[in-house]
């Protein structure tokens, strides 16, 4: 059985192969799907040198094209990250099978037995940028939930993605599973993305991950149903009661641990009553971590070397060691700022005031809302999903980190004994 993408004339033909394979994948047992993922995990770790070498080609091209350091970081795969990918696949393999779950059950008055059960979508498509980890995460989640997958990972990571797809397809074939369940349309360039967006009837759902521009393009141009993942203009509010130690640790972690990811904080709002106590130590801790502070006039009273903010700062996803600070009058003003500028991804408040905690959790309209915790926890792995296909910022079907249950649909099963409707 071939393990590389077949020679086809169009991206649509490749998606037809995925559609055909999905019928078999959807019927695999829990054990067969788990074993397939463990084989993929072993194959990824065994091929680490090959994957890292391919990634080095992508990194060299990225640096030559002078893309941002944030995107370079998202693109990079070193040995720890490759091994982490392998471990994440094993974690997904160990999760309960989402397919076949009985979500509702009843017997009608006429004796017909009804069950609402979880079923695979069929074929999941994903368009994403400079994130080779997504190639493995989405493929693993798709297969574990009984779906085939079609990937468009962008030119920036094309060498890495090609190596990863080949490794995973080879592992499936070795398990006796049709490798056509994992497809890529990267080699079709932009035409592959366009074909994927217009593959209604072949692709059941499309999930974009990347810049706001990419996501907007997919949402507005796709004829395939889209689960929208949003950019991460993420906020932390420092309430007047916030402990300094908590504020320092949480804000630095949320910004500096990995600034290029969508759950990194971009704007810190400080309630005026706590500004004099909180801003100097938090700013000093950020600067010690290499973060450049963009501050409004009130912030620059405490941090004279802060970069003056502009209106654009409040809606910017820096994806770098930059953070915007603003002093606001009260919690009402903080909530108003978040309503105006948030991308509805993740927001957190640091406070000892229980009333403020509960109000913040109730009123903030984002996929994940936190109190006294780093926004970096918004992650499928951290939530116990093993991995994630993305973080949905929409409200239909799925919201927040999407794991296995979010990659299933439902159908009703009716079992009768000759009943007819009167």
pLDDT over threshold 60, residue 146 = yes
Enter the tokens of residue 201: 């009837």
Mean pLDDT of 221-226: 94
292: β partners: 322
Are the C-beta atoms of 379 and 133 separated by less than 8 Å? Answer: no
Cα 5-9-12 angle, rounded to 5 deg: 80
Which range among 2-6, 189-193, 205-209, 265-269 shows the weakest confidence by mean pLDDT?
2-6
| Torsion over CA: 60, 64, 69, 72 (sign) | negative
- In terms of Cβ atoms closer than 10 Å to its own Cβ (0-12, 13-18, 19+), residue 317 is buried
Per-residue confidence at 65, pLDDT binned at 50, 70, 90?
confident
Would you say residue 342 has pLDDT above 90?
A: yes
Residues 6+ apart with CB under 8 A from 124: 138, 142, 147, 148, 149, 150, 203, 204, 205, 206, 207, 389, 407
Phi, psi values for residue 124, rounded to 5°: -105, 130
Question: Among 72-86, 172-186, 244-258, 397-411, whose mean pLDDT is lowest?
Answer: 397-411
Surface-to-core class of residue 394, CB atoms within 10 Å of its CB (0-12 exposed, 13-18 middle, 19+ buried):
middle
pLDDT at 384: 79
Average pLDDT over residues 53-72: 88
Three-state SS for 350?
Answer: strand
Mean pLDDT of 364-383: 93
- 11-229+390-414 matches 234-377 in fold: no
Question: What DSSP state is assigned to residue 264?
Answer: S
Pairing of strands 292-295, 322-328: parallel
CA 313: distance to chain centroid?
23
3-state secondary structure 351-385: CCCHHHHHHHHHHCCCCEEEECCCHHHCCCCCCCC
The architecture in CATH of the region 11-229+390-414 reads: 3-Layer(aba) Sandwich (3.40)
Q: Please state whether beta strands 368-371 and 307-308 pair in parallel, antiparallel, or not at all (unpaired).
A: unpaired
CB 227 within 8 A of CB 393: no
Structure tokens at 289: 């971590």
DSSP string, 188-238: GTHHHHHHHHT-BTTBSEEEEES-HHHHHHHHHH-SS-B--B----EEEEE
Q: Is the pLDDT of residue 70 over 80?
A: no
| Percent of the chain residues topping a pLDDT of 90 | 81
pLDDT of residue 325: 98
Torsional class of 246: left (φ above 0), alpha (ψ -120 to 50), beta (otherwise): alpha
pLDDT of amino acid 72: 86
The pLDDT score that the predictor gives to residue 129 is 85
In whole numbers, what is the pLDDT of the chain averaged over residues? 93
Rounded Cα–Cα distance for residues 101 and 146 (Å): 13
Given a cut of 80, is residue 58 above it in pLDDT? yes
The predicted model gives 200-217 an average pLDDT of 89
Give yes or no for residue 1 having a pLDDT over 50.
no
β pairing state of 113-120 and 102-107: antiparallel
For the chain, the structural domain boundaries read: 11-229+390-414, 234-377
Query: Which H/E stretch holds residue 102?
Result: strand 102-107
Structure tokens at 398: 């799925």
Confidence of residue 392 (pLDDT cuts 50, 70, 90): confident
Exposed, middle or buried by CB within 10 Å (0-12, 13-18, 19+), for 422?
Answer: exposed
* Residue reference for tokens 């979508």: 121
Spatial CA neighbour of 269 closest among 229, 230, 309, 213: 309
pLDDT at 209: 85
Q: What is the mean pLDDT of residues 396-422?
A: 90
pLDDT at 396: 78
Rounded Cα gap, residues 118 and 116, in angstroms = 7
The backbone region for 371, taken as left when phi is positive above 0, alpha when psi lies in -120 to 50, beta otherwise, is: beta
**Fold assignment, 234-377:** Aldehyde Dehydrogenase; Chain A, domain 2 (3.40.309)
More confident residue, 105 or 130: 105
Higher pLDDT, 68 or 92: 92
- pLDDT bracket for residue 8 (50, 70, 90): low
Mean pLDDT of 298-322: 94
Alpha helices in 47-122 (DSSP H): 48-64, 69-75, 79-94
pLDDT at residue 102 greater than cutoff 90: yes
């Amino acid at each position: 059985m071939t393990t590389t993408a077949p020679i086809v004339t169009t991206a649509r033909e490749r998606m037809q192969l995925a559609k055909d394979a999905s019928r078999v994948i959807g019927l695999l047992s829990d054990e067969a799907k788990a074993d397939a993922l463990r084989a993929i995990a072993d194959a990824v770790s065994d091929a680490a040198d090959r994957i890292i070498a391919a990634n080095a080609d992508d990194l060299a091209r990225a640096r030559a094209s002078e893309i941002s350091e944030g995107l370079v970081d998202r693109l990079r795969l070193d040995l720890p990250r490759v091994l982490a990918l392998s471990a994440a696949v094993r974690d997904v393999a160990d999760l309960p099978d989402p397919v076949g779950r009985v979500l509702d059950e009843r017997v009608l008055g006429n004796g017909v037995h009804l069950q609402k059960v979880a079923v695979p979508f069929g074929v999941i498509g994903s368009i994403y940028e400079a994130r080779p980890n997504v190639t493995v995460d989405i493929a693993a989640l798709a297969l574990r939930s009984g779906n085939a997958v079609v990937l468009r990972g962008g030119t920036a990571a094309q060498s890495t993605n090609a190596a990863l797809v080949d490794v995973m397809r080879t592992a499936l074939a070795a398990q006796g599973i049709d490798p056509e369940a994992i497809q890529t349309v990267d080699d079709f360039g932009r035409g592959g993305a366009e074909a994927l967006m217009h593959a209604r009837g072949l692709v059941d759902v499309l999930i974009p991950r990347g810049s706001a521009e990419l996501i907007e393009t997919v949402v507005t141009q796709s004829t395939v149903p889209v689960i929208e993942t949003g950019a991460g203009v993420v906020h932390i509010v420092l309430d007047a009661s916030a402990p300094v130690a908590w504020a320092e640790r949480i804000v630095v972690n949320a910004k500096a641990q990995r600034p290029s990811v969508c759950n990194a904080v971009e704007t810190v709002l400080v309630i005026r009553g706590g500004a004099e106590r909180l801003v100097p130590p938090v700013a000093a801790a950020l600067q010690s971590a290499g973060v450049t502070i963009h501050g409004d006039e009130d912030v620059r009273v405490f941090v004279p070397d802060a970069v003056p903010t502009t209106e654009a700062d409040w809606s910017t996803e820096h994806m770098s060691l930059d953070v915007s600070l603003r002093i606001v009058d009260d919690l009402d003003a903080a909530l108003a700022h978040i309503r105006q500028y948030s991308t509805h991804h993740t927001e957190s408040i640091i406070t000892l005031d229980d009333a403020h905690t509960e109000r913040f959790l109730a009123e903030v309209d984002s996929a994940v809302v936190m109190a006294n915790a780093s926004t970096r926890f918004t992650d499928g792995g951290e939530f116990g999903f093993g991995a994630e296909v993305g973080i949905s910022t929409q409200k239909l079907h799925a919201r927040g980190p999407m794991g296995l249950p979010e990659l299933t649909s439902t159908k009703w099963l009716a079992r009768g004994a000759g009943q007819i409707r009167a």
